[in-house]
Structure 1
Amino acid sequence: MKIHSHDTLTRVLRDLVSDELGRLRHTDPVAVAQTLKNDERLGPDGFGMDSFEFMTISAMVGRMFHLYDLGAEDYLLSRPTVTGWRNLILELSETDADTGADAGTSLAGPAHHVSFLSSGSTGERTPVEHSRPLLVEEMQFFQNLLGAPSRIFVTVPTHHIYGYLFGALLPDLYFGVHDDALDVAERRIVPLRGPALSRPRTAYRRSGTPAPGTGDLLIAFPDALARLLQAGVLPCPGLTVVTSTAPCPPELASRIRAGGSRLVEVYGSSETSGIGFRDADDSPYTLLPYWNRDGDALWRSTGQETRGGTPDLRVELPDWVEWFDDSTFLPLRRRDGAVMVGGRNVFPRSVESVIREIDGVAEVAVRLDATDDGARLKAFVVPVIAGDTDSQSYHTLETRIRSTLSGRLQSAEQPAVYTFGPALPRNSMGKLSDWDS
C-alpha cells in the first residue's frame, strides 16, 4: 500500500528536518528549509549537521514512520538524504508490513502506524502513536465536508498531526498518491509559511505567485489567520478555511466569515486527533460521526485489534468541556494549563520556573498576551531588590533574562513583553491578576 505521493512525503520530511534543526539551533525553521536540498547529504559531511543533530533527526524519522517496527531504522543512515528517506519509507510501506515485525505484533510499519510528538502536560515531548487507517477515515469525512478545492494552501508544518492530516493525507485523497496521476505543478499544493504570511495581496499579483482565492482551501491556525487578515489576503469570498491548534478568537472568526469565506474550526489534539468541528459563529462543536461519548471520555470502534489488545479506542478529552447533548459541546479550558503560541503548545508554569532560576529574579508570573498581531507570552517580574525601581536596573535584568531564555527555550516560549514591579499584581482577594503589558 502506497501511503503518500512522492511530493507529499518529501514535504513532510523537509518540514521535519527543518523544524527539528531549527529547534536544536534556536533558529527559524523556514530559513533552514530555504537552504535544504532534497538530494543533499544530511550530516557532518553534507548539509552541515553535526553527528548529534543527524542522529536526533534520523531517530525522529524512524519513530514517526515506525521503521523500528520492521528493524529498518539503520537504512536511514545509509540513505542520508531527504529523497533517500522518502524512497525508503515508500518501499517499506508497499511491502508486507508483517515482515520483520516484533513477535505478537500483527500490524507494523509505516503502512499501519504513524506517530507524532506531543508536548504533554509538562512541556516534555512524547511520541503519540496513531493508526493510519483511522486517520485516513477522519480525512475522508473532511474530504466530503469541505468539497474538492482548486488549490490547497498550507500554513502549518506537515510533520505535526494537524499539518499531516490536512496538509498531507487530505491532499493525497484529493489528488491521488500515484505520481503519474498529476505532476507536482498540477497537484496545486502551495506552502505558505513564515514571512509569506505577511505578504500583501497586491504583492502576490506583482510577483505572479498564487494567492488564496475563490475555490481554494486554506489550512491555517489563528495566528496565521490574523496575519493574513492584516495583509489583506483575508477575508476572501468563496475561500474555504480550516483552522485548528488553538481556539480561534470569536472576532477573528466573525470577520473571516463576514467576508464570504467558509471557516471550519476543528477541535482535537495530538493525542486524540480530530474530535469535532463547527462552521458558524457562536455555535457548539459537533462530534465527528465515529466518536461516541462516555462521560468525559470518547471511544470509537476500530474494527480491528489494537496494540493494547482491545478492539475499541478510548481517549480522554484534552479540555474541560460543556456538553449540550451526546454530540455537541463547547471546550472550556485546558486540563494541563497549556496555551497556544504560534501553533505550538506552551506551558507558562514551565517558563516561570526557568525565569525564576535567573540571578536577580525574586518572583515571576507568565501569561498569554493576545493582541491583533497574534498571541505571545508576557511576563511580570519582581526583582530580588524589590524596592529598586530604577529603569536602568530593570533594563539590565530584562537583558539578562532574554539572553538566558534565548539559549534555553524555543521562540514561542520566550515572553515578548516584560513588566517589572515590586510585587506581583493581585486582586482584592489576594489572587494573582492580569496586568497591562
Structure 2
Amino acid sequence: MNHWWSQPSSPDALQDWLADFLADALQRKGLGELLSDPEFDTREVLSDPRALGFTSLDMLSMASRLAASLGLDRTGLSDLLLAKRSFEGWVDVIARSLQIDDKQIGFYSSGTTGSPVLTQHVVSDLELEASHFARLLPEISSLTPRRIIAVVPAHHIYGFIWTLLLPAALRIPVVRIQTRQRLPTNWATCLNNDDILVATPPIWHLLMDLGIQLPEQFIGVSSTAPMAEAESRRMRETYPGATFLEVYGSTETAGIGFRHDNNAGFELLPYWNLQQANGRSELRHELTGKRHFLNDHLSWTDDKQRISISGRMDDTVQILGHNVHLPTLARMICAHPDIGEAQVRAMPDNQSGMTLHYFLVPNTKASEVPAWCERFSAWLRENLGNVPPPASVVISDKLPRSALGKPLSWNINDYARIKGVFHTTT
C-alpha cells in the first residue's frame, strides 16, 4: 500500500514537505529574503540555527509545530526531533513516525498577524478531494496530464492536495520550482504541453503582467484566494488554449468549490452541503458529518447551481495568500516606539488583488518625516517581515475621523508623496 509520503510519483515527498516547512519558519522570522539566494540551503535552519537568529525556544516551538502537524505526538517520537537535529535526522524521525500512524495531518493557518492555528485533517478525506479532481480534469479538458509543475509549498493544504496527493491519483510525476530563486521568464520555459501548473493568484497575475509565454495547451490551477472576476477572465483570454481551474477553500475545510469558466460562481464539491444559519454560512460534509461555520459570505446564484463569495464577515483579509487580521496588524504597528496611533485598511486592486494601506500618526516633527520613513521601513522589515508590504503609508498628525469620532476611510490622492509608498498631509 502506497502512502502520501512514499509515492513513486513523489519520491522526495518528505524532503519537499520539510524544506517548505523550514522556509515558512524563515519567513515567519522575517528572514524570507534568504530564500532568494540560490546558494542558501534551508537545511541551515537545523544545522546552524544560531547563525540565523533562532533561539533554543524558537527551535522548541518549531519542533512542536512539526510534531503536531505530522502526528509525532501521537506516536511518541516527537522528542527525537531534539536529539536528531539535522535535516536528515528530522526526515528519518518523521518517516519512522508516519510508518506507525499517518492517518491524520495538520496544517497551520497562513496568518501573519497572530499565532498560527492548527487544523487537523483525516488524510483519507483529502485523498477523496484529490480523487474527485482527478476524475474532473478529463471532463473539463481534452488534455492528458503528463506532469504537475508546482510553484506552491507542499506543507500548505493546497500544495499538499495538488502536489502530493493528486500526482499519486493521476500517477504522474511532480516537478517543483523555487520561484524565489528564478525569474518567471526562466522557470516558465520548463513547462510543456499537457502539464498542470499549480500556482496562486499572485503568480498568475505576474505571468500575465510580464507577458510570459506558456505552452499552447496546459491546465492551470489557482487557489488560496478567489480570483477577481476581471482577473479570471483576463487569464483565460491571455492563454486561450489552456484549461483553467480555480479552487475555493480554506485551511480549515480543504477544498469547497471550483470553477472552470468565466461564470462568477463556484460549483460545490459533491460532498458539501451549504446552509445559512443565524446569518452565517454553514457547510456540512455529507460523508463525515463535519460542520464548518465560514467567515466568508456565501450565497447561491440564481440558478441554485453555484455559490458566490462576497467578502468576509470579520476583519481578516487575504493578501498574497496570507490571512491578515487588520486590527491586530494596527496594534502591532503601534508597538513601534514612535507611533501614537495607526489605522490599517485593505483595498482591492484590479491588478494585484487586495493591498494593505497604513495611516500613521507618529510622534515626530514634520521636518524629520523623510528620514523617519526610512527608519520605519527598516523596522517593518525586521519586525513584520512576514506581513505583505503596504501599498501606501500616510503620515499625518491625526487619524481621519467623523464628527462622532468614528474612523473614516481616506483617499491616497489627497496626500502628497514623500518617497516610495510614503505620503503626508499637504
1:10 matched to 2:1 = no
TM-score, structure 2 length as denominator? 0.81
Answer whether contact 2:248 2:257 (CA < 8 A) is retained. yes
1:417 matched to 2:392 = yes
Aligned pair in 2 of structure 1 residues 210, 188: CA closer, same or farther (>3 Å)?
farther
Letter in 1 for 2:179: R
1:408 matched to 2:383 = yes
Aligned pair in 2 of structure 1 residues 192, 280: CA closer, same or farther (>3 Å)?
farther
Answer whether contact 2:357 2:390 (CA < 8 A) is retained. yes
1:159 matched to 2:151 = no
Aligned pair in 2 of structure 1 residues 155, 41: CA closer, same or farther (>3 Å)?
closer
Answer whether contact 1:151 1:190 (CA < 8 A) is retained. no
Match for residue 285 of structure 1 among 261, 266, 269: 266
CA separation in 1, counterparts of 2:14 and 2:337? 46
TM-score, structure 1 length as denominator? 0.79
Pairing of 1:210-221 with structure 2 (within 5 A): 210-221=189-200
CA separation in 2, counterparts of 1:273 and 1:150? 25
CA separation in 2, counterparts of 1:67 and 1:93? 8
1:136 matched to 2:132 = no
Question: Match of 1:237, SS?
Answer: coil
How big is each residue's C-alpha offset from its partner over 1:54-102, in whole Å with a ceiling of 9 and x where there is no partner?
333222221111110111112323433333333433333334xxxxxxx
1:272 matched to 2:253 = yes
Unaligned 5+ segments in structure 2 are 139-143, 414-426
Q: What corresponds to 1:305 in structure 2?
A: none
Aligned pair in 2 of structure 1 residues 29, 313: CA closer, same or farther (>3 Å)?
farther
Q: What corresponds to 2:141 in structure 1?
A: none
Q: What corresponds to 1:312 in structure 2?
A: 289
1:432 matched to 2:417 = no
CA separation in 2, counterparts of 1:380 and 1:47? 36
Letter in 1 for 2:327: R
> How far off its partner does 1:420 sit?
2.3
Answer whether contact 1:18 1:32 (CA < 8 A) is retained. no
Q: What corresponds to 1:232 in structure 2?
A: 211
Q: Select between 253-262 and 369-378 the one with higher mean Cα deviation.
A: 369-378
Letter in 2 for 1:152: I
Q: What corresponds to 1:116 in structure 2?
A: 107
> How far off its partner does 1:343 sit?
1.5
Q: What corresponds to 1:64 in structure 2?
A: 69
> How far off its partner does 1:119 sit?
5.2
> How far off its partner does 1:320 sit?
1.2
CA separation in 1, counterparts of 2:310 and 2:49? 50
Aligned pair in 2 of structure 1 residues 314, 33: CA closer, same or farther (>3 Å)?
farther
Letter in 2 for 1:138: E
CA separation in 1, counterparts of 2:197 and 2:330? 35
Q: Select between 409-418 and 157-166 the one with higher mean Cα deviation.
A: 409-418
How big is each residue's C-alpha offset from its partner over 1:315-355, in whole Å with a ceiling of 9 and x where there is no partner?
11230112236652111111232222222111222221122
Match for residue 242 of structure 1 among 218, 221, 242: 221
Q: What corresponds to 1:52 in structure 2?
A: 57
Match for residue 29 of structure 2 among 12, 24, 35: 24
Unaligned 5+ segments in structure 1 are 96-108, 177-186, 303-310
Letter in 1 for 2:269: L
Q: What corresponds to 1:181 in structure 2?
A: none
Q: What corresponds to 2:307 in structure 1?
A: 329
How many residues are paired up?
393
Answer whether contact 1:351 1:413 (CA < 8 A) is retained. no
CA separation in 2, counterparts of 1:394 and 1:41? 37
- RMSD of aligned alpha carbons: 3.2
Match for residue 177 of structure 2 among 174, 187, 191: 191
CA separation in 1, counterparts of 2:171 and 2:35? 25
Question: Aligned residues: percent identity?
Answer: 27
Aligned pair in 2 of structure 1 residues 127, 376: CA closer, same or farther (>3 Å)?
same
> How far off its partner does 1:52 sit?
3.4
